[in-house]
Amino acid sequence: MTHDPDQHSSLKGMYSDYFLDYASYVILERAVPHLNDGLKPVQRRILHSMDELDDGRYNKVANVVGNTMKYHPHGDQSIGDAMVGLGQKELLIDTQGNWGNTLTGDGAAAPRYIEARLTKFALDVVFNPKTTEWLPSYDGRNKEPVTLPIKFPLLLAQGVEGIAVGLACKVLPHNFNELIEASIAVLREQPFTLVPDFPTGGIMDASQYNDGLRGGKVRVRARIATDKKGLLRITEIPFGTTTGNLMDSVVAAADKGKIKIAKIEDNTAAHADILVHLPAGADAENTRDALYAFTDCELSISPNACVIADGKPVFMPVSEILRRVTLQTKDLLRQELEIKLGELADKWHFSSLEKIFIENRIYRDIEEEETWEGVITAIDKGLTPFKPLLKREVTQDDIVRLTEIRIKRISKFDSFKADEEIKALEKSIEETEKNLRNLTRYTIRWYEELMRKYGKDRERRTEISSFDRVDRTQVVAATETLYLDAKNGFAGYGLKKDGEPLEKCSTLDDLITFTGDGKMRVLKVAEKVFVGQKPLRVAILRKDEDLVYSMIYRDGRDGPILAKRFRMGGITRDKEYDLTKGTPGTRILYFAVHKTEEESAQQMLLVHLKPVLRMRNLIRPLPFFEFGIKSRSSAGNLVTKHAIEKIVRAPKDYDPTLGA
């Protein structure tokens, strides 16, 4: 390609134009399907080539690839890969040989070993040269279709994925019969809803599908059953993964301590069959939830419906794609009926001419003619009395066709049989005209017949459901132990040598720490994390626990003594919270944790004051039920302004009315 050097005012402008040319080419010619037929150019050329070679028998894929290269100038590898992708969808191509396995991810055999032919469905709905718009191939030697006249929402049935320059396309596959039912609903002007249906089955939550547009998502889960005690069986996997990848994700989660399994094995052949063996004592229900939380047993898929329409990429909802394709199908059927009507009319016209020509022995009028012009004139003159019986004018081409009738046909002409043929043509013409007048009804019947012929064994494979995302912190296996090295102020599951064991934990847990100066923090559990010198409490934060905390503290170095009960409330990880007024020198004198409000209210403490001149009562009872439960940021209630020597728990038989 040559470029005019004066065309661009700058180098930046030149590269900008080149980039836009390339981006447009990739979008229009390689990555994004066309709205009319739902095909990328390479797919369209493969199908056109297969139709060109079709004789009802299987063809070697290598032969189809070679023939397709007349139309697709991008190499045999891209054609072969695209053809295998079409064949694995089991809709347009009837395959023979090893075409790979979409469940396991195994590839197909080499093109010279596998064979293919068009399915009956493809021959019925994809091709019609009479309604196809053609353009020259890249080298001008052949012609190829602009788009194929497909009378079915193929794009939504097969799904498609493509990445262009600055643009991506992802249309998810839908159920064959549901698409036909939705098309009929469009024609009847009734509401309809479309959600994906995946060939791999599984369980789907499509509540946020967003009609296939950007921003939507579909969550898909594997189907996992408890086969027997200690054994989980995965029989369907999420769309977009393979059994190999799924097993790798399970093993990785087990290695990280997120789930506990004894072993995993894959028996997948025609259907997915993965066995997950559990160790002794493992809970099957909890392990199944953990598989959804930490492995590819649950995936989130983001659709992005984009098509080429009117020569440019358009982001279009799935419902609108179906509506446009349905109306296009109706228009294609109209064109086919009009073509058929014209062909029937031509056939009726010539059959009537032939009958008139033979029955009235007009062929004898040309016996004495010596010139071709004389023959034509003689026949035309002989037909003149009968022209009012015809539905259109008699042309010279019609007369030429009459001269080509053989003597054998004239001698064996059966007038009764000719009348029957003309009546049959008239009946067909009448029926075709009726279908054209009632085109919507005819299109609905066409769709219904399509479902009857090809909808068997195409039931929905993916179960539509609604499910919440599994809380990973609730199902992760507690395979670690939390240790505390109080002397040095560290905690973590990697301190087995220097620390004191506190409780079992997982690598996803958070821990909560309280220090003697009234500070509180929530940290991510790690092998080793600093929690402060001699912490008051270090524990795993359980979000389902509603603990009540009790605390007595001295405000500053010489300030009053305050007490409070509080609940934790909302917290942010790694943020330090002050549970006191924050005065320098503040010290926690008493700290306790209780599971219930009643338990915390039953606390009875004895506060021992430091001796002071003229102070007689140095021991004072402190019943915590007097303090209401407040927020963690509250300052608390005044206990005393005097210095405290110690705080102890009151004996169980302590009676505050009798004093200490």
Dihedral pair phi/psi, residue 466, rounded to 5°: -140, 125
Find the catalytic residue in 113, 363, 577, 654: 113
Distance CA 491, CA 485 (A): 6
The two most distant CA atoms of the chain are separated, in Å, by: 159
Distance CA 547, CA 540 (A): 12
Which residues lie closer than 8 Å to 77 by C-beta, 6 or more apart? none
Distance CA 253, CA 293 (A): 10
Which residues lie closer than 8 Å to 406 by C-beta, 6 or more apart? none
Distance CA 519, CA 584 (A): 12
Instruction: Based on the residue annotation, tell me whether 113 is a catalytic residue of this protein.
Output: yes
Distance CA 466, CA 460 (A): 16
Distance CA 217, CA 207 (A): 8
Nearest to 355 by CA among 383, 376, 377, 393: 383
Distance CA 128, CA 600 (A): 83
Whole-Å CA distances, 503 to 9, 265, 536? 72, 33, 16
Kindly state the helix (H) or strand (E) to which residue 218 belongs, with its residue range: strand 218-221
Which residues lie closer than 8 Å to 423 by C-beta, 6 or more apart? none
The beta strand positions in 137-217, using DSSP E, are: 143-145, 160-163, 168-171, 203-205
Cβ(265)–Cβ(316) under 8 Å? no
DSSP-based three-state secondary structure for 434: helix
Kindly state the helix (H) or strand (E) to which residue 590 belongs, with its residue range: strand 587-594
Cβ(366)–Cβ(336) under 8 Å? no
Dihedral pair phi/psi, residue 55, rounded to 5°: -135, 15
User: Rounded to an integer, what is the distance from CA 95 to the centroid of its chain?
Assistant: 26
162: which strand partners? Answer: 169
Token digits of residue 498: 């220097």
Distance CA 448, CA 610 (A): 95
Distance CA 169, CA 163 (A): 6
Nearest to 240 by CA among 201, 290, 291: 201
Residue positions annotated with a catalytic role: 113
